[in-house]
Amino acid sequence: MNNLLSRHAESIFWLARQVERANSTARILDVNESFSRSPRGEHDWQSVLRLYADEESFRATGREPSADAVIHFYILDGDNPNSVLSNIRMARENARALRPLISTEMWVQLNGFHKWISRLRRPDLRVENLNRLCSHIKESCQTHSGITAETLYRDESWYFHQLGRAIERADQTTRLVDVKYQVLLPEPSDVGSPIDEAQWNTVLRSAAGFHAFRRVNPNSMSPSSVVNFLVFDPRFPRSVAASVLTANEHLNGIRIKYGHGSKHGASRLLRELAAELAEDTAADLIARGLHEGLDSIQAQLAGVTSALGTEFFLLA
């Protein structure tokens, strides 16, 4: 039986992350656009830059952080590794290298997605078109997931794909909560006001969790309950906790089904993170310092990725 090439494992892991990242980016831009309609929103395009720690790279473009400029930066700027174009371009190159393993439909869809993005021009990115544009991006990303689920053979490559997607999701959610929370640190006079609620709605919508949250918390909307939902609630699929559990499940699958990887490498790091998330609460996290706490989770996820590299992708 032939094992999965390290290079292929690495490619499909990153392909999943790249599509998920594009998905998140589109979602965040879309929600931001709605949010920035409110009077207090003039600065909020900058919050997107903060979310991805892109303030410096954006400054290098020499432009002002207007809506148009930031939207272009995150959708079409080929020099920005966090743009949708960059991510889908890399995903497509990974897919090309993975041709022997993936179905033709997977390839054709990503190829078509890339072609569509690379044909966009500035007029297509005007703020009034943003909603339609982001919907298309999100749909394409979802189509990719769908085709993958339907056609990718359930061998080791499937596990690496799902693992990549889950880790990226966890990471994206921590960033979202972190930035929004800082921006939205309410003035005492704002607490409970319509503006305050609108802001939290935005955070939840960015994570596609607005309706689910309302079902779970029909009466209250507080910083703490939103953080709890997005970070700790294992029932919400996009929460940090749920994503980490999914990632752990897939990494275990690789070990148990294929006998690859060790219990003590990336697996241990993920297990520890999952355990922490299971035991902690939003109130404690906020009390200790939300930003530091989320930073720490991101660092741990980066540690997991690095450990995966050593264990599976990089052999001397």
C-alpha closest to that of 274 among 251, 308, 306, 307: 251
Site string for another protein, 249-268 (x = CB under 8 A): -----x---xxxx-------
**Beta carbons within 8 Å of 164's beta carbon, 6+ residues apart:** 12, 13, 14, 15, 16, 17, 20
Among residues 100 and 194, whose Cβ is nearest to another protein? Answer: 100
In 3-state terms, what secondary structure has residue 82? Answer: coil
Task: Give alpha helix (H) positions in 98-230.
Answer: 104-118, 130-151, 156-183, 194-206, 210-216, 223-227
- 295: number of Cβ within 10 Å: 14
Among 156, 168, 171, 178, binds another protein (CB under 8 A): 156
C-alpha closest to that of 65 among 49, 53, 79, 52: 49
Least Å distance, CB 160 to another protein, is 8
Among 61, 107, 186, 276, binds another protein (CB under 8 A): 107
- Considering the rule CB under 8 A, would residue 233 count as an interface residue with another protein? no
Give the binding range for another protein (CB under 8 A) out of 4-12, 82-90, 132-140, 199-207. Answer: 4-12
Among 5, 195, 198, 221, binds another protein (CB under 8 A): 5
Site string for another protein, 175-214 (x = CB under 8 A): ----------------------------------------
Q: According to CB under 8 A, which residues from 265 to 304 bind another protein?
A: none
- Considering the rule CB under 8 A, would residue 50 count as an interface residue with another protein? no
Give the binding range for another protein (CB under 8 A) out of 94-102, 200-208, 212-220, 264-272. Answer: 94-102
Q: Is 196 left (phi over 0), alpha (psi -120 to 50) or beta?
A: alpha
Among 43, 59, 63, 99, binds another protein (CB under 8 A): 99
- Considering the rule CB under 8 A, would residue 123 count as an interface residue with another protein? no
Task: Note the Cα 75 to chain centre separation in Å.
Answer: 15
C-alpha closest to that of 53 among 240, 251, 310, 294: 294
Containing H/E element for 15? helix 6-35
- Considering the rule CB under 8 A, would residue 9 count as an interface residue with another protein? yes
- Considering the rule CB under 8 A, would residue 163 count as an interface residue with another protein? no
Give the binding range for another protein (CB under 8 A) out of 44-52, 89-97, 209-217, 292-300. Answer: 89-97
Enumerate binding residues for another protein (CB under 8 A). Answer: 2-7, 9, 93, 96-97, 99-100, 104, 107-108, 111, 156, 254, 258-261, 312, 315-316
